[in-house]
Amino acid sequence: MSTQGVQGYEPRTGKAFGDPIPSTSDSGVGEIVDAATQAFPAWSGLASAERGAVLERLADALDAESELLISTADTETALGVPRLTVELKRTTNQLRLFASVLAEGSYREATIDSPNPDIIPPRPNLRRILQPLGVVAVFSASNFPFAFSVAGGDTASALAAGCPVVVKAHSAHPQTSRETARVVASVLPQGVFGIVYGTEAGRVLVQHPLVKAVGFTGSTSGGRALFDLAQGRPEPIPFYGELGSVNPVVVLPSAATNRSAELATGFAQSLTMGVGQFCTNPGLVFAPSSIVDALAEAVGGVGGGAMLTERMRDSYESTVDSLSAHASVRLVATGSDSEGGWTVTPRLYEVSLKDFVADKEKLTEECFGPAGIVVTYDDPADLPEVLRTLEGSLTATVHADPDDHDLAASVLAEIRRFAGRLVFNAWPTGVAVSWAMHHGGPWPATTSPLHTSVGATSIRRWLAPVTYQSWPDALLPPELQDANPLGIPRREDGVLVVP
């Protein structure tokens, strides 16, 4: 970051890109949050269908600006036009998904218990619904300049919930953030959306008394620091952070024997996708030693690329240097060299299961970039005990053929305890945006394993329940009125009723 503000760079060359964007002052953050607070009653008071229509218009506006947005992001992130084209479409599809969530209506969890004076204790007329929290702060991610950033999933779900959003732009792509914010602000009502720049502005944002919740995607250290700020406020607020994850993969014996080439190719592609800068990067693989040569050949045949920032490049090099110096770890593959800017080279390491257990804390640290560790085992019966000790992760994967299914069941019993998404015979990179998706997990994967940051149910983070007791029908929200004028699903006297 420049002393003059937030400076963008071209990762392929290391050269500055665009003029620095001034950091937002403390007073500037306050003005933006105040405007969002003033906009909250009208935005949250809109009928769900009307908010959904605004999200649809926003998706259309972003699609209309795709050429400029993708070009800017490619220069500033080096992620490539094909990848960024798909990511921007995912971003606009997320907005459209939440428009459909609003139309369907079950996200409000409308619940009605009719009065019953004959039970003990007597029950009055009770009607429960979820309502928006207020202004939400969203921290953009470095590795997804569209889908997890200014107009990304946290912003889309919070807006859908009825919450105004103030985004803290990521320093890795300030120009992309500014252009995206311009499009968002052109569609949304005044005050419903705002953006701030600079590390200090992010701290001020989290501590502002009118901010009611925070969404964050980033490093464990950064997320923990902001989590502590959110919890240390006079009024602690929810902090939904997606943090570090090693995404363990278990390859069982028959699969390793029967599909070694296929598995090796898939692993190398998943490990190095986006230069390894995915939160679902499969950084830890438990496999028989017989497949190591195939994995090494596949990783050795893949080229590197430029990482998003110089700091990320330096952190990657420091991590792989530490692994290379580890007495029990063997470097088994190095990808083809890349030159210029902040480029790095893929690497694959091997360690025995016994040595992994002896230094598990060190060997389960997330390496943000295209490097992985293969933990070799002799007896698959030894795996459950080791898997039982792993920390929380966004995903866990099992590769198994039919002969492995009994073993797969014992592995599943362990991985479902610490991972939010369990993958079978596929690779974890790539997260579908849908109703059934859960993108979360126990610490340190996230700060709240109850919630997802991807998919329809991510809207639940920005809502809190309220119960109306004995209120006249005319004064109730339409979702709770006897006639159910919006025609939404409701639970009535314990029975789910779908009109």
Residues forming the active site: 242, 279
What's the Cα-to-Cα distance from 296 to each of 137, 293, 374, rounded to whole Å?
43, 5, 10
For the record, the structure tokens of 211 come out as 């901010």
DSSP label at residue 481 = S
For the record, the structure tokens of 199 come out as 């590390």
Q: Which residue is associated with the tokens 């994995």?
A: 295
Q: Which residue is associated with the tokens 């992994």?
A: 356
Q: Which sign, positive or negative, has the C-alpha torsion 382, 440, 351, 285?
A: positive
Question: How far from the centroid of its chain's Cα atoms is residue 215's Cα?
Answer: 9
Q: Which residue is associated with the tokens 């009719």?
A: 114
Q: State the DSSP string of 281-337.
A: ---EEEEEGGGHHHHHHHHHT-B-EE-SSHHHHHHHHHHHHHHHH-TT-EEEEE-B-
- Least Cα distance to 243 among 455, 98, 391 occurs for 391
Contact between residue 55 and residue 174 where contact means Cβ atoms under 8 Å apart: no
For the record, the structure tokens of 201 come out as 């502005």
Q: Measured in Å, how far apart are the chain's first and last C-alpha atoms? A: 54
Q: Give the type of residue at 8.
A: G
Secondary structure E strands in 293-406: 305-306, 330-334, 343-344, 347-352, 371-377, 393-399
Secondary structure E strands in 23-122: 111-113
Contact between residue 188 and residue 159 where contact means Cβ atoms under 8 Å apart: yes
Contact between residue 160 and residue 71 where contact means Cβ atoms under 8 Å apart: no
Strands 15-21 and 6-10: antiparallel
| 205 vs 24: CA distance, rounded Å | 10
Residues near 304 by Cβ (< 8 Å), separated by ≥ 6? Answer: 272, 275, 335, 336, 337, 338, 343, 344, 345, 346, 370
- Least Cα distance to 342 among 367, 310, 311 occurs for 310
